[in-house]
Chain A
Amino acid sequence: MKEIYADNAATTKMREEVIIEMKKFYSVEYGNPSSFHYRGLEAKRAVENARKKVAEILNCKEDEIVFTGGGTESINFALKGIAFANREKGMHIITSKIEHPAVLNSCKWLEKQGFEVSYIDVDENGIVKLDELKNNIREDTILISMMSANNEIGVIQPIGEIGKIARDKEIYFHTDACQIAGALDIDVSKLRVDLLTLNGSKIYGPKGIGILYIKQGTNIEPLIHGGGQERGLRGGTENVPAIVGFAKALELAQDERLKGNERLIKLRDKLIDSLLKIKDTKLNGHRTNRLPNNVNISFFDIEGESILLHLNEKEIYASTGSACSSHNLEPSHVLLAIGLSHDIAHGSIRFSLGRDIKEEDIEYIIEIMHKIVENLRKISPVKIKGGLK
């Protein structure tokens, strides 16, 4: 039985082309880019070529790109770096309720350091409430951080509009763009951002690598102090193979995104429409303003971990927003933010499709899910629509 990996929002399988690009930097061109000799220079050249590639894609200057150890590090760098560099100006930050834990927990830590954070609500489709955002802007607001697209429910935010609001008020604007790099245009002037986070593991590239785009002139403190690498903004010997791999993965992802989106949207919509035909189901997140590969559906009266275990047995790999599968026994904060009750949140499953998923895989998932839902409902005493049975 072939396995069907439908958890690409968590991480992706590296492409062969990326692995091939990276290989020689492990054992042939293995130098430290800071070294003065030829091995060092050749590594430095590889890093700068990668930087050039990334800058072209983002439509920015090369020295506005800093390579980091991943999306989480970029986010920590952006939030803490802006906060500490600008705290004389103000100590208020605005973000949304549905951000990635890297944003939310960085904000929680900043609150402990005396900063104030406003967490803006989203509507029932997951879209940030722009009026509430505007109303929360204060004289002492120094940063707005909003994710470009949500990893759980796939909803795409109006980043260009938020950028305009931020620019009008001269507030730094950061976006976590990890989920859009393979699907949308990441031209930073169109997005109107001052800072942008990307990572490799969502675009068929290496794990443990990311970038932070920092607009020229931005006042920011480094997060990681060290040997002066990345123009003093991020210390540590550069992960040359991963940097090269990241640039290659980003290039391929952007080159293929329009065709890729077309194919994925068809498969995504087929999966959504077929699963919604099962009674007592609900799609989570905006129906059309969502990532081409994201399907997130709640199945009433049954629980997510149980569904996953059945899927696991059939070698279909997905994820859930159920409390039972989290270490703190709380259901997904994103599902609660869009207004799902706890009991409906417990029955949610996310399928995030990838490059190599085929139509017959989608049909198989549909067939299996029908059976799983029937089996679990047969033994369930719950009827959410009408209260307990």
Chain B
Amino acid sequence: MTKENYADLKSRGGEESWFYSKTVKEHFFNPKNFISDEEISNYKYDGLGMVGSPACGDVMKVWIKIDEKGEKIKELKWQTFGCASAIASTSMLSVMVTENGGMKIEKALKLRPKDILKRLDGLPKIKIHCSVLGDKALRSAIDDYLKRKNGEKIYED
């Protein structure tokens, strides 16, 4: 049995061990589209969303840029505090929403956790809640963009 077949982590209490798929590990060890603190100060975004709390162990912050026509999400940058599932989920979300020229906003609003799960090739049962936060963060960023279009702001950086 090679190391690849071993479950990666065992839970404290020992009842479950979980397999992280190759895709999850790829997005964890090489996360896509994250943004560093230095870059944030110069980043002109159209919408900002944040969900979760450090006490719960998961926080996702998401910055989006919308195209000139106001139809598609051109860019999505993020920062995440959380386990490998949380980090991989946000990374995968950023890819899904910006690939092929960008996702239409109506489609992005319909994005569900199972869509992220599918692209990640699944998450251990106990970790599925981490992907739930991903689409919430996206929606919160889109809400912010729409509110800003109408002159209001939800979050200030």
Where the two chains meet, the residues of A that have a C-beta atom closer than 8 Å to any C-beta of B are 101, 301-306, 308-310, 312-313, 319-329, 331-332, 341-343, 346, 378-382, 384, 388-389
Most buried by B among A310, A324, A332, A346: A324
Cβ–Cβ contact B34 & A306, under 8 A: no
* B48-78 interface bits toward A, Cβ cutoff 8 Å, 1 = contact, 0 = none: 0010011111011100000000000000001
In the complex, are the beta carbons of A379 and B79 less than 8 A apart?
yes
Tell which of B12, B20, B34, B36 has the most Cβ of chain A within 10 Å.
Answer: B12
Contacts of B8 in A (CB 8 A): 309, 312
Q: Which chain A residues border B13 with CB–CB below 8 Å?
A: 101, 326-328
The 5 closest A-B pairs by CB, nearest first: A343-B54, A381-B79, A381-B61, A324-B83, A305-B83
**Can you list 22 A-B pairs with a CB-CB distance of less than 8 A?**
A303-B81, A303-B82, A308-B9, A312-B8, A322-B57, A323-B56, A325-B11, A325-B83, A326-B12, A326-B13, A327-B16, A329-B57, A331-B57, A341-B55, A343-B54, A379-B79, A381-B50, A382-B54, A382-B59, A384-B54, A388-B50, A389-B61
**Of the residues A319, A341, A389, contact of B12 by C-beta under 8 Å:** A319
Task: Name the residue on B nearest A301 (C-beta).
Answer: B81
**A324-B57, A382-B81 given; 9 more Cβ-contact pairs under 8 Å:** A303-B81, A305-B9, A323-B57, A324-B85, A327-B11, A346-B54, A381-B50, A381-B61, A389-B37
CB distance from B75 to the nearest CB of A (A): 16
| Residues A306 and B28 in contact, CB atoms below 8 Å apart | yes
Q: Chain A contacts of B36 at CB under 8 A?
A: 378-379
A312 touches B9 (CB 8 A): yes
Closest to B38 in A: A378
A322 touches B83 (CB 8 A): yes
Measured between alpha carbons, how far is A81 from B15 in the docked complex, in Å? Answer: 27
User: Cα distance A302–B29 when bound, in Å?
Assistant: 15
List, in ascending order, chain B residues with CB within 8 A of A313's CB: 29
